[in-house]
């Protein structure tokens, strides 16, 4: 319950920076250049059980909340191109939130250089926030990952890093929002006080 309360509380923090991508950028931004695609970058075709999602919105509401690029990736399971996305080369200290519901999903302390051109993490901040669905589209077997709170598509997870490190969560930048560490710490402190009623 605390987690959900945190997620909902975060909504106001990001209100100002929503819709920062130009609407016309969506189609071009999703076009991969020749040779750019990899198993990580191909779109998904899984059925995410939305009945379990705590936050549900109509299609019109999703389109209103998200930029066209975010909508295409998070809701239609498309994939942004590698090396031409917001966070693949970001090294700032902080936390990455779900673009669809502002749930904190990944910590920058688990982010690593995978060489794929997409932001990659060893593990989610909270395992229960990231759901896995077997994706057998396009003649491959992959594990699609999505936000369990709102059902937004995030990317895929692979078992090709040393087990002691975790896994390789290959995530679309368009499915994420970034919050610097000091803002995150302040937000957690404030949210905890609110949720405990003190
Ligand atoms: Zn979400």
Interval 133-188: pLDDT, tens:
998 888 888 999 999 999 999 999 999 999 999 999 999 999 999 999 999 999 99
CA of 99 to the centre of ligand 1 (A): 6
The alpha carbon of 51 is separated from its chain's Cα centroid by a whole number of angstroms, namely 20
The pLDDT assigned to 139 comes to 85
Active site residues per annotation: 170
Residue 114 lies in a domain: yes
The pLDDT assigned to 138 comes to 82
Tell me the mean pLDDT in the region 93-106: 97
CA of 19 to the centre of ligand 1 (A): 17
CA of 148 to the centre of ligand 1 (A): 6
Is the per-residue pLDDT at 108 higher than 80? yes
Domain range spanning residue 120? 2-10+46-196
Residue 98 lies in a domain: yes
Residue 39 lies in a domain: no
Residue 19 lies in a domain: no
CA of 142 to the centre of ligand 1 (A): 21
Residue 61 lies in a domain: yes
- Ramachandran sector of residue 192 (left: φ over 0; alpha: ψ -120 to 50; beta: rest): alpha
The pLDDT assigned to 34 comes to 58
Enumerate the β-bridge partners of residue 106.
96
Residue 76 lies in a domain: yes
CA of 55 to the centre of ligand 1 (A): 8
CATH number of domain containing 53: 2.170.150.20
Domain count for the chain: 1
Residue 35 lies in a domain: no
CA dist 145 and 63 (Å) reads: 21
CA dist 169 and 114 (Å) reads: 10
Residue 34 lies in a domain: no
Q: Which of 177, 188, 185 is nearest to 73 (CA)?
A: 177
């Amino acid at each position: 319950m605390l987690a959900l309360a945190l997620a909902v509380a975060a909504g106001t923090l990001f209100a100002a920076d929503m819709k920062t991508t130009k609407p016309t950028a969506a189609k071009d931004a999703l076009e991969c250049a020749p040779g750019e695609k990899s198993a990580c970058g191909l779109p998904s075709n899984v059925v995410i059980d939305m009945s379990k999602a705590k936050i549900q919105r109509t299609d019109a509401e999703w389109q209103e909340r998200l930029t066209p690029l975010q909508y295409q990736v998070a809701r239609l399971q498309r994939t942004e191109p590698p090396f031409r996305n917001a966070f693949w080369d970001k090294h700032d200290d902080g936390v990455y939130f779900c673009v669809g519901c502002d749930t904190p999903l990944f910590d920058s302390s688990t982010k690593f250089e995978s060489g794929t051109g997409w932001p990659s993490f060893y593990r989610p901040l909270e395992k229960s926030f990231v759901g896995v669905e077997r994706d057998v589209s396009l003649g491959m077997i992959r594990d699609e990952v999505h936000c369990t709170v709102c059902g937004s598509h995030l990317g895929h997870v692979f078992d090709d890093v040393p087990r002691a490190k975790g896994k390789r969560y290959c995530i679309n930048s368009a499915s994420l929002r970034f919050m610097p560490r000091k803002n995150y710490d302040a937000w957690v402190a404030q949210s905890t006080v609110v949720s405990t009623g003190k």
